[in-house]
Amino acid sequence: MILCPQSTEHPRGKQCQRLQVAKMSTSDKERTPQLLFVKALASRGRLEAITQQMGYHPQYLDSFLRMQHYLLHMDGPLPFDCRHYIAIMAAARHRCRYLVNLHVLQFLRVGGDPQWLRGLDCIPPKLRKLSEINKILAHRPWLVGKEHIEKLLKISEQSWSLAELVHAVVLLAHYHALASFAFGCGCEQDMCPEGRGVLKLTVPGSLCFCEVGNGCSQDLLHLNRKRSLDSCVELESLRERIHRLQVESETREEMRLPEREEGLDGEILGPADLSCYVQDPSFGYQDFAQRDENQTQIFRVQDYSWEDHGFSLVNRLYSDIGYLLDEKFRKVDGLQSCAMAKRQGCDHATFKRGIWNYIHCMFGIRYDDYDYAEVNHLLERILKLYIKTVTCSPEKMNPEMFERFWKQFKHSEKVHMNLLILEARLQAELLYALRAITHYMVS
């Protein structure tokens, strides 16, 4: 089983201590969502819809923000503009305009060439060579083999280094999975005609973390009467800081972006047709059972696992990213889902394991120590349909499907389900890609 046990100590030892979150006091824990939102807004200049959704689970959000910040903004093998363009390529595979637009803006902010936004024909050949592995990882990761790695690493002027390739693979897998989360939580539908996300300035202090049907309004500030006056003042101060940062960011954006729009005929959000960013747009998910059994075998975790193989390889070729990914896997495993599990008549660990293994099963990954007959007992048919759609074909999601999905549960529990989908899919893609890299290295 890939899900890591919940523990106060990181299983990787002392090397990971510098990446651990410092223990907080009780008052700090109460303010965690607000502080994380301020942190996200200060670094990005906006409070993204995905960040707001993940705010229902602040312990996970903290790990997510740190991993994504490291992936995009810290020292690494790839240039900053290439990182954002790879994110665009990955999100475009699932036609996720929300993520594409987000990273088009980031691409321009870090000095990316606006001509690249015209499509794959206008980017360097080295970057274009990623299109094949992007296509396969997004839809049928079991087809990735060492021949794909050899093609990218073949010595030439446009060849990739192993470190660059690992960085690129983590970016691709991350944004394929994040597209699933965006569609699954309805972020993609929360767009205005120009393609920008329409978000209200809110923090958890002004968000009501329960269903609107319970008579709670998200437009009012709900504070616990037991909180002290000091806590109220601190919360108001945080809200004012968020507002000030957002106003300053919008001012800077208005001053900078027009200069970078030259050559794009005044458009900053790229083409309306996202197919210009993908190779073979018609290529999509196919049930693993329909594969050519002579070419593709079942992936057995006992032979290649994240803990025993993937973690050490990715961490060796791209320093520290393994710790940050592993922490995210552990954090999502530590989230509680008592209400969902109670409905199925089991404990939350059994319920989450069923979901995780079901997602991996759709990608051909099997655990010899698991009875897959349990999946049909644990997961209702409508839930299995929802999971499969969000995991394999998120672009087919619509707001009605999300609203129909378990109406009796709180929104935070639906977000929890989508976090499980995000991490299980991410790990599945990484396992296939890292195994192919391992086979290349030992051949």
- Catalytically active residues are 96
Non-local (6+) Cβ contacts of 18 within 8 A are: none
Give which of 180, 167, 185 is closest to 55, Cα–Cα. Answer: 185
CA angle, residues 34, 39, 41, in degrees to nearest 5: 95
d(CA 173, CA 422): 10
Classify residue 371 by burial, with Cβ atoms within 10 Å: 0-12, 13-18, 19+.
exposed
Query: What is the per-residue DSSP string for 213-226?
Result: GGT--TTS----TT
Secondary structure class of 178 (helix, strand, coil): helix
Q: What one-character DSSP code corresponds to residue 5?
A: P
Closest by CA to 320, choosing from 35, 50, 77, 52, is 77
Max CA-CA distance within the chain? Answer: 69
Please name which of 438, 430, 426 lies closest in space to residue 146, comparing C-alpha atoms. Answer: 438
The DSSP code for 23 is P
